[in-house]
Chain A
């Protein structure tokens, strides 16, 4: 296989990953590393480097739409980015000290977790007790549009959310992924932010988080232009297409199928990690 064929096939694979990722809301980034390592035999360090830049591209693309619609809360995002960016730099340094096999196993576990999280029930029926003093001091409470009305919400347990976000940033830097599933956990479960706000704010934060580890990846030679080019352009085009189809598509069945694929890839990554093939 020469470079032109490799670029074309990889670009098509990345396009499909981005498309399914946007349709199901799971993000294309999580399948890029398994695709590159398992199907194309790429070294996991080049794979996480290419994945990381593609994650920045999709975050900027989708955040541009969501921010304008008024769902994302830029104050919550900005504050939590302190935790995710510090975590991301730590994670990127950890990646340079961790064996490829160990990274593959951790990656597999995160894939299994993401698959499990994707089909859980979502409820916005949070217990509302008065405003939380820390959230109020940080002016995080906000509102989002529901039709012509504004739905107000209160933010809770800021320190817990901040702590989980540090973990999300570390995973992002270690594995070259957006770790959206962990970010949503921090905002949905810990801080009790409504689902629409937490997913869109998480998306908004992913780009900044990934940019923080990109510096470390770049200087360590993880970002290969020949590999990152088809991956980034493919995932970006796929996710923009996916977002366009999102309105008409019935995503429930697709979400289950994609979750099964992700779980399967997770098991495959763990297996290859233990047998030392990655």
Chain B
């Protein structure tokens, strides 16, 4: 059997693991805080999800959500936590680009770079 090139990605693996866990825990804490505030303020309101109205601005875009969270609004804080959750895999891809660059594996710099561009397009460029 011919020698097959096999890559050792142990160090990248460990760092990705730490990154994913940190993102998950951080976002869960933010969502929990926002949720507690929301129930404190609106716990007795009657929820209605039967008819779709769609979440309106500012809670449907990145900059609006950040603004709302900075003002300490409960729904804004939950939505910011959800954004952190969505950002965690994006950060993982960004980290992969850098890690492959440091390994001088330019083929995988390009591959991770393509995935990163697709993700950033989805989050920032496109508008409904």
Binding site for B on A (CB under 8 A): 1-4, 6-7, 36, 40-43, 45-46, 53, 56-57, 59-61, 63-65, 67-68, 70, 72, 74-75, 78-79, 81-82, 85-86, 88-89, 92, 96, 130-131, 136, 138-139, 141-143, 152, 154, 207-208, 210-216, 218-230, 232-233, 236
Residues of B within 8 A of A227 (CB): 47, 49
Q: How far is the CA of A82 from the CA of B119 in the complex (A)?
A: 10
Q: Is the interface of A mostly helix, strand, loop or mixed?
A: helix
Q: Is the beta-carbon distance between B123 and A138 smaller than 8 angstroms?
A: no
In this complex, the member of B52, B87, B123 whose beta carbon has the largest number of chain A beta carbons within 10 angstroms is B52
Q: How far is the CA of A254 from the CA of B46 in the complex (A)?
A: 36
Q: What string of 1s and 0s marks CB contacts (under 8 Å) between B103-117 and chain A?
A: 001011001101100
Question: How many residue pairs at the A-B interface have CB separations less than 8 Å?
Answer: 227
Q: Is the beta-carbon distance between A45 and B52 smaller than 8 angstroms?
A: yes
Binding site for A on B (CB under 8 A): 1-2, 4-7, 9-10, 12-14, 16-18, 20-21, 23-24, 27-28, 31-32, 34-35, 38-39, 42-47, 49-56, 59-62, 75, 78-79, 82, 85-90, 92-93, 96, 105, 107-108, 111-112, 114-115, 118-119, 121-124, 126-128
Residues of A within 8 A of B42 (CB): 3, 226
Residues of A within 8 A of B79 (CB): 223, 225
Q: Is the beta-carbon distance between A43 and B5 smaller than 8 angstroms?
A: no
